[in-house]
Each structure stands twice: as C-alpha cells, then as structure tokens.
Amino acid sequence: GEDVEQSLFLSVREGDSSVINCTYTDSSSTYLYWYKQEPGAGLQLLTYIFSNMDMKQDQRLTVLLNKKDKHLSLRIADTQTGDSAIYFCADTQGANNLFFGTGTRLTVIP
C-alpha cells in the first residue's frame, strides 16, 4: 500500500530557510500537497504541485518534486516564529481522500 514518510522534527533559527522533506511510494498521484497544522487547529493547505511539474514557488514557499526518486520537499524562506507548526505532505487516493505523511514538527528558534 501507499506509504508517505517524513522526518519527525526540524529546528531552525529565525530568518534561516527551512527544508522539509517527504518521500512517497505511489507514483500515480496527480497532485501532491503540503498542509500546516498549528496547535489546537485543523489543517491548512499551504500549497500543492501538479505531478508533471518540477518546482512551484509561492511567496516564501518553494516546492520541489523529483518524480524519479519520489521525493517532495517544501522550502520556507526567511522562517518566522509563526511558522512553528506540524507540516504534512499528502497525496490523493480519490475524491478528497488524502494519504498523509507522518508530519514534521518545525520549531523556529528566535
């Protein structure tokens, strides 16, 4: 079955760039997503990338997709304390059926 793996923790200093990595096994995914979850809140869609793209940039966020290696990454430029949260990558398995990774807890040190 599908498997989506992420490292559990990442700490960065405020102002530095953060890179969160994700590997997946299902090569048929059309879209891949990045979600953010803050304490006590639901998930917020940050960005997504179509599977035939290599890169997508959206303000401070850059998504890189390597289909050959089934590797997805999210880069956050100029990381702020408000970026501290859990970040999930996900791919689609059907209508609104997302398969989520384990989540990476990002801690931004002032």
Partner 1 sequence: KAGVTQTPRYLIKTRGQQVTLSCSPISGHRSVSWYQQTPGQGLQFLFEYFSETQRNKGNFPGRFSGRQFSNSRSEMNVSTLELGDSALYLCASSLAGGESEKLFFGSGTQLSVL
Q: Which of residues 76 and 101 has its CB atom nearest to partner 1 in the complex?
A: 101
Residues that bind partner 1 (CB under 8 A): 30-31, 40-45, 48, 50, 88, 90, 92-103
Shortest Å distance, C-beta 15 to partner 1: 29
Q: Which of residues 34 and 79 has its CB atom nearest to partner 1 in the complex?
A: 34
Q: Which of residues 1 and 110 has its CB atom nearest to partner 1 in the complex?
A: 1
In this structure, the strands spanning 18-24 and 4-6 are: antiparallel
Cβ-contact 19, 68 below 8 angstroms: no
Shortest Å distance, C-beta 44 to partner 1: 7
Supply angle C-alpha 48, 81, 43, rounded to 5.
35
Largest CA distance in the chain: 40
Q: Which two tokens stand for residue 75?
A: 């880069």
